């Protein structure tokens, strides 16, 4: 299948175990929605102890906005330094697996089980122990989310 930059939306939840080499497999529906990417970006969340997998197209759109700012803007330089130091660009192997660094896995308290949540424009990786069980729906949170986005 021909690779594209991808701009599809990501929905659903997948609970997996890290394999013996601590790799995570991106679910095939998500890989397909993203155009079977050769790589993704992974970074810690800014407000929660989870990791974000950011598709290349989403990251490129955000970074292109930064090109409008001065090349030697000190605030921008500091921010990009921190973001770059704490993020990874990871290649997917032929089976759609990525190996996130131990440092990032430790940040999100991931040791064996992971919950991957399609957060529409990104994928969140959580320790499943901190989420509502996969077979349940938190109606109050869902109602607040629908209201927040204007559904």
Architecture of domain 13-149: 3-Layer(aba) Sandwich (3.40)
What's 27's DSSP letter?
Answer: P
Separation CA 126–CA 131 (nearest Å): 8
Question: pTM of the predicted model, to two decimals?
Answer: 0.86
How many other CB atoms sit within 10 Å of the CB of residue 124? 19
Three-state DSSP state, 145: helix
The partner residues of 51 in beta bridges, in order of sequence, read 44, 125
Q: pLDDT tens digits for 115-150?
A: 999 999 999 999 999 998 888 889 999 999 999 989
Q: pLDDT tens digits for 89-108?
A: 999 999 999 999 999 999 99
Domain residue spans in the chain?
A: 13-149
């Amino acid at each position: 299948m021909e690779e594209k930059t991808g701009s599809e939306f990501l929905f659903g939840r997948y609970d997996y175990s890290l394999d013996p080499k601590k790799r995570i497999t991106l679910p095939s529906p998500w890989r397909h929605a993203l155009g079977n990417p050769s790589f993704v970006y992974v970074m810690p969340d800014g407000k929660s102890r989870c990791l974000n997998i950011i598709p290349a197209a989403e990251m490129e759109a955000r970074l292109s906005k930064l090109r409008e700012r001065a090349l030697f803007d000190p605030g921008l330089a500091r921010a990009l330094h921190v973001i770059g130091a704490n993020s990874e660009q990871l290649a997917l192997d032929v089976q759609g697996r990525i190996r996130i660094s131990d440092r990032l896995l430790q940040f999100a308290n991931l040791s064996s089980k992971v919950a991957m949540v399609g957060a529409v424009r990104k994928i969140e990786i959580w320790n499943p122990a901190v989420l509502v069980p996969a077979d349940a729906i938190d109606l109050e949170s869902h109602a607040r989310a629908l209201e927040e986005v204007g559904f």
